[in-house]
Structures are given as C-alpha cells and as structure tokens.
Amino acid sequence: MYVFLNDKIVPASEAKISIFDHGFLYGDGVFETMRSYGGVVFKLDEHIQRLFRSARFINLEVGRTPEEIKKALYKTLNANDLTDSYIRVSLSRGYGPIGIDPDLCKENTFTIITTEFKRYPDSFYLEGVDAIISNIRRNPKEALNPLIKSMNFLNNILAKIEAKKKQAFEAIMLNMEGYIAEGTVSNIFFVKDSSLYTPSLECSILDGITRGVVIELAKKRGIGVQEGKYIAEELLKADEIFLTNTSLEMVPVKRVNDTEFKVGEIYKLLHEEYKVEVKTYVNEKKL
C-alpha cells in the first residue's frame, strides 16, 4: 500500500511522522473523508473546499492549492490501483516542540490514505441500524465549532463508546440547548407526514456534503424539506429516520432507544435518487 506524505508517494510502511507532531500531541489539525466510485472522487471540489474552510477556522495554512491536492489524491489512488475507495486526507499543524502555541510549528503535515472501499452489510440498507440518543452533548459551536472537521474527535468518540456499550451503531447527540444535532459520523433526517426534517446548521453540526445532496434531491422531487430545531420527542414520533455520510451514503434507522421505525418509502426513493446522482456525476467527470 502507498500513501501520500507531505509532497510524495511513499510505501505505507515507510510513512512516518514525529511523535512531536501537534496533530498527535494536541489533535491540532483537520481532515476530510471522501469516497471514489469507478475512479472518480464524488463531490471532490466540495470536500476540498471544506478542508480549506476547516483549516481557515483554526488558522492553519494549507500550503497547497486545491489543484495540487486533487493531483496528489489521484496519484495516490493510481499508485494503489484503486477505483472504489475510501479516502482520508489529513492536515496537522506539524512538527514542533511541546506547547500549544501554533507558531511553534513551522511546517504542517499533509497525508492521504486510500483504501479499498469495503461495502457495508446489505442488512444496513434493507433493515436499518440501531441508534441511541446519547448522553454526550455535541460540542457547542461557540466552543469547538462542529463545522470544523477537526482531528479533535473525542466528543464524537465518547458518544460512540456509549453507543457501543448499548449495542447501537450510531449515537445521536443533542446540542447544549437540547435540540437534536447529529450522529458521531453522520447527519440525521426524519420524515413526518411525507415531509423531510433535519437539524439546521444553527444546531452545532457539520454541514455534511451528503446532507446537502439529499436536501437538493428531495427538493427536486417536490418533497418538503425543513431545516430547524427539533427535540428528541419529535424524532421519536417520526414515520422514518435515516442517517447520511459520505461512506454510508444513506442508511435507515430501525430503532432509537426503545422505539422502532420502519424502512420508509421516502428513504428508499431518495437513496435510489442518490445512487443515480452518483452515477451521473461519475459519468460526467469521466468524459
């Protein structure tokens, strides 16, 4: 396996970074996860834009142009002979002495890891996954804004630990005001009376790229979409619930705590549309 480290492709076994890297010492860095289909990275521009935005939020110079990052990414995919892949791009503050002052680091660390995409079990899509409402609240945007896709992921990891203890796949976090925010690695949607609801960007969430695609697809289909503030009781009364992220695409939720849900028609329709959207995108980029 080959990875990209700073400015070149290297065998994964030789890709080493310092234990003084501030990404390791302090979680001081940002990242993106992407997915490629048939050799094309879906919504690549959007992911790269979000990487730059995350970096801007933490005052971190990317030090490369979007074009250079795209080239590096495709180079890594080609080196590994990958078409359907999972991609992780990371950018940390880099090597520096101990101490949190970002100016201690003179050069950032940039890595790209690509691995073969492992499909989730069919049961995820046909039957759904279990979720809990987590006791861990989502970081408020006034503290560590979830719009920053940061390496500082402990908020999400704590909720994931809770989900695992309760044999659930995903933990749905509320924000500090008590409104539904998002999952540990996903955005959440629910359907009530044929309309689609999802927490607004005001709710301390990541503006998921999949979330954006799903909202557009629903609008095109004439399905009403509301972005707002919702409490857990509203979620529990939903007709259907589903989660979105880049690698899962869209997955229905069959249980939240003790309440069961069916895999609904709107989920099925929108996931079919999502797959068509991916195909169209991939075919256009291949031309």
Rule CB under 6 A: which residues touch ligand PLP?
33, 156, 182, 185-187, 206, 208-211, 244-246
Cα(29)–Cα(152) distance, integer angstroms = 8
Q: By C-beta, is 203 or 206 nearer to ligand PLP?
A: 206
Cα(255)–Cα(230) distance, integer angstroms = 18
Catalytic residue, candidates 43, 149, 160, 254: 149
Backbone angles phi, psi at 214, to 5 degrees: -65, -40
Cα(91)–Cα(29) distance, integer angstroms = 6
Cα(130)–Cα(260) distance, integer angstroms = 9
Q: Of 212, 159, 150, 152, nearest to 184 (Cα)?
A: 159
- Nearest distance in Å: CB 222, ligand PLP: 23
Q: Is 149 a catalytic residue?
A: yes
Residue nearest to ligand PLP (CB): 208
Cα(228)–Cα(234) distance, integer angstroms = 12
To the nearest 10°, report the CA torsion of 219, 222, 227, 232: -130
Q: By C-beta, is 35 or 254 nearer to ligand PLP?
A: 35
**Tokens read off for 2:** 């080959």
Q: By C-beta, is 2 or 90 nearer to ligand PLP?
A: 90
Q: By C-beta, is 6 or 49 nearer to ligand PLP?
A: 49
Cα(61)–Cα(49) distance, integer angstroms = 14
- Nearest distance in Å: CB 151, ligand PLP: 12
Please list the active-site residues.
149
